[in-house]
Structure 1
Amino acid sequence: MKRLLIPLVSAGLSAAVLAAPASAQPSWASENLTPKPADAYGDAFFWLDANGAALRKATQYTLDTKDVPKLVSAQSKTVPDGKPGMTGPTTTSKATTSKNVNLPKTIGKVFFLDEQGRYRWCSATSIQSRNRNLVATAGHCVFEHGKDDTFDKWVFVPGYYQGKAPWGVYVGAYAFTAYDLDTYDDYDGDFAFVAVHNGFSLAPERAVSRKEFNEWLGDKWMKPREITAQEFVKCKLNLGECWSQGHGTPSLVGPDHPDAALERVEVSKATYDRAGVGKGQGYKFGEPIVEQVTANQYQAYKGLGTKGKDRLGNYTITHYYTQKWVKPDSGRKYYQAQWMVGIAKDLGALGDVVGGQGVAWNQPLGQSVTAFGYPSAPHPDGNKPYSGVTPKWCSGKTYTKSVQVNTFKVETHQMLKCSMTGGADGGPWLIKYNNSKRTGYVNGVTSVFADNDGNNRIDHISSAIFDGEVADVYNKASFKDTGAIVTPKGELLT
């Protein structure tokens, strides 16, 4: 990289003995993603709700460029800005033997909303750090246009497959990148390290009492259950608990009529506020009911309820009801409110669940590397060989000279011959990859895709060179501590 190069002592950076960051002018930039547990809960729920519907809806993130760039080889070898160094990987996987490449447990997808609100993904990996909570990916998969702001609802899903999060969702708390990328949109610094909260998953919903429902600090909602007429008679005077629904225009009666059926009538908040309390025509029907809805339902809603967002960031519509006592008609159905809560589970620190790849810096070019990612975008000629559903890989030696990419202000990138396409952005480049242990050392992340022979097919990928500045950013990110976003009981931490 070109500015603010701060070399590190090669042996000084390890998970156990990281030194405190220096107070010199930083080569790093940082932004908050979702540091508060309550907000992180909402982001995780957003992606996991409806059996991972939002995850399945996402498409690969692509750089905003009209032409596929060509990588231009530099005239001389890149000189390291300090001594070489590395920190070792950790693993939770048992060693295995295979003639094929064993996919690391650490790799997965990062999901986020781009500046247009579209659901996007890039590739990433868990890496070793003192707090076992770091993700490495491309800077352009975290920072909008490389500067000023970060993408919304950013999460990491290791081992992602077809809407499933087998090891949970890890919400981004703090993001770190190169000063040059954040300030100048300079892709020589196109990498990012993100400190994530503990893993999060959703257990099956559970029905609770109204008292438990009111006291629950996590996700909750009301779900109607159809009951018999006999069951209705037993609970119809518990206002807000039971009601009926029929057809036609039945006769109005008083609440004390032996056959009286209670209907609920949705009204505006103003009408509800003016209504009396008790049993009678037009009186309040229990407490308002808050319904969680999708963003599209929220925007399209034209009813009497009031729209808003809850403390978790979910879209909600609050419904208000008054009483209507009628004589039962044929075909009438009866319902009882079920008070439901969503149970969340804390899975622990990312590194404890899936392990973490090592990190290496100031290594010579010309190294053998294995690059992983979730390619999905078509080639420039329209051919689409990848689905993005499962991770892919390519391997080889990086070029011995750095390359330039004028489109992205790149002066020194490392280059690898590889045909993976967009969606593989942010995927790790691992040197010294141990196929049995599924671990290696991250010495780059996929940044730019290139068509160097001009046949409208991606044939090369490039990465920022992991030098002393990258080590400095990594060192800084390693000190960010995070933790659980829900209690052992499954409630929200505030």
Structure 2
Amino acid sequence: MKRTLAFGGLVATSGLLAAGLAAPAHAAGDVASDPLSATGIASQAVASYWYGNHAANLIGATPYNVETMVTSKHVSTGGPAPDSKPGIVPAIGDEKKTASKSKNINLPKTTGKVFFEGADGKPHWCSATSVQSAYHNLVATAGHCVYDTESNASTLKNWVFIPGYYQGKTPWGIYVGKQAFTHYDYDVYEDGDRDYAFVTVYNGLKTPHDGIGDSKDANGKVIPDWYAVGDYKEVSEQDAAAYAKAGYYNVYYTTDKDGKKHWYTWKFVDAGRLGDNVGGQGLAYNQKVGKPVFVFGYPSGSHPDGNHAYSGNTLKWSYGKTFAAQAPAIKGEELVGVKSSFTGEGAIGSSWLLNYKNTRRLGYLNGVTIGVSDTDKNNRIDTSVSPYFDGELYGVYKAAYSLWSGSIA
């Protein structure tokens, strides 16, 4: 079993554009798309779900454990195969860069957590990453971290992405999901070979303690900025009712000396586009199985023997060569696996980066963790599995690639 490696001492895979990967091939797939939130009050209410009540939902969220443990096996013959020529999409900022080497493993800023309300009505999270797109607004994760496979109620509610999340801290802002894209076979049949999703997100919203400072109500009383996304603004009573109906946590009023009510809610502050703030990984598809990848994510939970290896609080990584795998229980007949001790809770959605370049913290997304397995039956997780990235995946990615999101502030 390959254990998770400690920092330092490992030579990173060199090269991005000098790695011998072919130029993108044009492929199309059967795409399913669903809205996550509409522009305006609805999307702002999603953010307030996570920051309201002193960020109780954000801090109290637990790792998503749906379809986490799978029974997988190494396939020695056959396995997934390209359906067209190999292709790549360069990472944000690496479109014209050349290769270099480094001995230090620098963690990518692109990786973070997606938060959402599960079918149980409780807040949960998975791992995810920012990827290249025309408007620098795209996130990649496992399909079942976007689409509700428990209640079959389409997409999961209150979906947001927070890159670099750490114990309630959101260093680059919170990004509300706008539109979700996956393969038709996953949306309809929950096909494990298509368990991936791409999500366009709105511009980020600034985070608690962003330097704006406290505001004052109509009577001059200080309104603390604690866990507010921005400052407060006065709104009409009619608008306040609309905000409250949409699910806002921070809607309140004060009464002035003449008995008039003044209504307030959050004033959201735009944090800019996701890819401009943290970058975005490239994409590789129809690649030969057997190449080494770095896996980045937030593993949490215990091994089957009870050993609690990861807390889920910090970004971790592992490294290994991919191999053909199957997991029939989740309809995964053409998967790829990698040896990794990542436990499943929290690791779902972890990014598999091919030809990861340490100096720029960029590479090519070539897999997302959809399950983990104890293949040698010793009660320790030893394998992560992902759909094979082929031309069908590229078709889903391209459907999301050029869609604009904009600001919700």
Please tell me the TM-score bracket, short chain as reference: 0.7 to 0.9
State the Cα distance separating 1:28 from its structure 2 match: 1.4
Counterpart for residue 299 of structure 1: none
Instruction: Name the structure 2 match of 1:313.
Output: 247
Aligned counterpart for 1:411 among listed residues 333, 338, 341: 333
Q: Distance in 1 between matches of 2:179 and 2:272?
A: 17
Instruction: State the SS of the aligned residue for 1:440.
Output: strand
Q: In 2, distance between residues paired with 1:411 and 1:91? A: 35
Q: Is the 8 A contact 1:205 1:342 kept in 2?
A: no
- 2:37 maps to 34
- Paired residue for 2:84? 82
The C-alpha deviation readout for 1:137-186, integer Å capped at 9, x for no partner, is: 00010001186501000000001011011000000000001111111011
Match among 120, 126, 146 for residue 122 of structure 1: 126
How far 1:314 sits from its partner (Å)?
2.2
Q: Residues 310 and 429 (structure 1 numbering): CA distance in 2 closer, same or farther, change over 3 Å?
A: same
1:467 aligns with 2:390: yes
2:169 to 151, 157, 164: 164
1:152–1:77 CA distance, 2 compared to 1 (3 A) = closer
SS at match of 1:393: strand
Structure 2 residue identity aligned to 1:33:
L
> Is the 1:68–1:380 Cα contact (8 Å) retained in structure 2?
no
CA distance in structure 1 between the partners assigned to 2:296 and 2:125 by the alignment: 15
8 Å CA contact 2:254, 2:262 repeated in 1? no
Write the distance in 1 (CA, Å) between the matches of 2:78 and 2:394. Answer: 23
The offset of 1:347, in angstroms, is 1.1
Q: 2 CA distance for matches of 1:118 and 1:338? A: 33
- Indicate if the aligned counterparts of 1:444 and 1:465 stay in contact, CA closer than 8 A: yes
In structure 2, do the counterparts of structure 1 residues 154 and 180 end up closer, same or farther at CA, with 3 Å as the change threshold? same
Checking the alignment, whether the CA contact within 8 Å between 1:208 and 1:339 is kept in structure 2 is: no
3-state SS of paired residue (1:360): strand
1:189 aligns with 2:194: yes
1:332 aligned residue: none
Cα deviation code 1:352-397 (max 9, x no counterpart): 1111000010000000100000001211122111010001000011
Distance 2:23 2:40 in 1: 35
Q: Do structure 1's residue 344 and structure 2's residue 268 form an aligned pair?
A: yes
* 1:362–1:290 distance in 2 versus 1, CA, 3 Å: closer
- Report the 3-state secondary structure (helix = DSSP H, G, I; strand = E; otherwise coil) of the residue aligned with 2:176: strand
CA–CA separation in structure 2 for the residues paired with 1:470 and 1:33? 20
Change (3 A) 1:397 1:96: closer
| Cα distance, 1:289–1:477 mapped onto 2, change above 3 Å | closer
RMSD value, Cα: 3.3
Q: Distance in 2 between matches of 1:476 and 1:162?
A: 34
Kept after mapping to 2: 8 A contact 1:27/1:469:
yes
Aligned to 1:140: 144
How many residues are treated as equivalent by the alignment?
365
Identity across the alignment (%): 44
CA distance in 2, matches of 1:348, 1:320: 32
Q: Distance in 1 between matches of 2:245 and 2:39?
A: 11
**Alpha-carbon distance, 1:79 to partner:** 2.2
Q: Which runs of 5+ in 1 are unaligned?
A: 1-9, 14-18, 211-217, 223-286, 292-306, 322-334, 487-494
Q: What is the rounded CA distance, in whole Å, between the counterparts of 2:80 and 2:198 in structure 1?
A: 23
CA distance in 2 between counterparts of 1:122 and 1:129 reads: 21
- Which is greater in Rg? 1
TM-score, normalised to structure 2, is 0.81
In structure 1, the partner of 2:216 is 207
2:366 is the alignment partner of 1:432:
no
TM-score by length of 1: 0.67
Is the CA contact (8 Å cut-off) linking 1:308 and 1:315 kept in structure 2?
A: no
SS at match of 2:133: coil
Once the two structures are superposed, the pairs formed by residues 4-403 of structure 1 within 5 Å of their partners are 11-12=23-24, 26-64=29-67, 68-73=70-75, 75-91=77-93, 99-145=103-149, 149-202=154-207, 203-209=212-218, 310-314=244-248, 341-399=265-323, 402-403=324-325
Aligned-residue offset at 1:403: 1.4
CA contact 2:237–2:263 (8 Å) conserved in 1: no
Cα pair 1:52 1:164 within 8 Å, conserved = no
Contact 1:127–1:359, Cα closer than 8 Å, also in 2: yes
CA contact (8 A) 1:290 1:317 kept: no
**Using the alignment, how far apart are the partners of 1:129 and 1:457 within structure 2?**
38
What SS class does the counterpart of residue 166 from structure 2 fall into? coil
Change (3 A) 1:414 1:353: same
Name the CA distance, whole Å, in 2 between partners of 1:318 and 1:47. Answer: 18
- Letter of the structure 2 residue corresponding to residue 453 of structure 1: D
Gaps of 5+ in 2: 1-21, 220-229
Conserved 8 A contact 2:244-2:251: no
How far residue 37 of structure 1 moved from its aligned partner, in angstroms, is 2.6
Q: Quick check: 1:425–1:447 contact (8 Å CA) kept in 2?
A: yes
Aligned to 1:255: none
Offset at residue 51 of structure 1 (A): 4.7
- Contact 1:132–1:352 under 8 Å retained in 2: yes
Distance 2:277 2:121 in 1: 30
Q: CA deviation at 1:484?
A: 0.2
Deviation at 1:194, TM superposition (A): 0.3
* 1:277 alignment counterpart: none
CA contact (8 A) 1:208 1:341 kept: no
